[in-house]
Chains A and B, each alone.
Chain A
Amino acid sequence: GDSVTQMEGPVTLSEEAFLTINCTYTATGYPSLFWYVQYPGEGLQLLLKATKADDKGSNKGFEATYRKETTSFHLEKGSVQVSDSAVYFCALSLRQAGTALIFGKGTTLSVSS
């Protein structure tokens, strides 16, 4: 079945370090791919998305490129800040009406100053 696998956390970085969180997927058809972020005590917010192969999603300095050949959608940021500390979820959607998003288990990022 369809699934998302993302790297286990927690990830602990110093401020201004480079961030990569790996995400790979298995899907029938051509999914849209998403990264959601959850700040402490809050719900999930869409961080970025990509709808087709080679698309690059970007937002708030984060980027991820939809790689069909490697079925990956890795999240990167060149210089993390303390305020980026959160849980990050990779997800896919097959876009048919009503289909739910399938989420990875989440990666906790902790950034220290």
Chain B
Amino acid sequence: NAGVTQTPKFQVLKTGQSMTLQCAQDMNHNSMYWYRQDPGMGLRLIYYSASEGTTDKGEVPNGYNVSRLNKREFSLRLESAAPSQTSVYFCASKGLAGAANTGELFFGEGSRLTVL
């Protein structure tokens, strides 16, 4: 019963390097999300995918790209990492709206990224 799985859990990058955070969910959810968490800032939405084949910008998309590879997987890419992108990144998913779905998000355990 994995739920939402993120990899890697920890990563250290140098400024200018690129990397991809991977996320997969096994709950057959339609929507997937990437948030970043910073001290005193709460969780801020980077990008989301309301359904397979669509992606949209959230509150803080600059410096990131995403790919909804299929219904299960949603990756987040940093093309040229900057120290300001040091953060904890959370992937989440949500099922279709309806009587059985109150809008709850299911979260992965997080990926801690440090950019030097």
A interface list, Cβ under 8 A from B: 31-32, 34, 36, 42-46, 49, 51, 89, 93-101, 103-106
Contact = CB atoms under 8 A, between A and B. Distances in A.
17 contacts: A32-B102, A32-B104, A34-B103, A42-B109, A42-B110, A43-B109, A44-B90, A89-B42, A93-B104, A93-B105, A94-B103, A95-B101, A97-B50, A99-B103, A101-B92, A104-B42, A105-B41
B48 interface: yes
Contacts of B107: 36, 43-45
Contact of A43 (B30, B48, B90): B90
Nearest to A8: B40
Contact of A97 (B31, B90, B105, B108): B31
Contact of A49 (B96, B104, B110): B104
Contacts of A34: 103-104
Main secondary structure of the interface of A (DSSP, over half): loop
Interface string B1-45: 000000000000000000000000000001101010000111101
Nearest to A93: B103
B48 A98 contact: yes
B42 A101 contact: no
A15 B86 CA distance: 35
A53 B64 CA distance: 38
Given A43-B109, A106-B42, 13 more contacts: A32-B102, A42-B109, A42-B110, A43-B107, A43-B110, A44-B107, A45-B107, A89-B42, A95-B97, A95-B101, A95-B103, A98-B31, A100-B48
A101 B90 contact: no
B51 interface: yes
A44 B45 CA distance: 14
Contacts of A97: 30-31, 50-51, 96-97
A89 B101 CA distance: 20
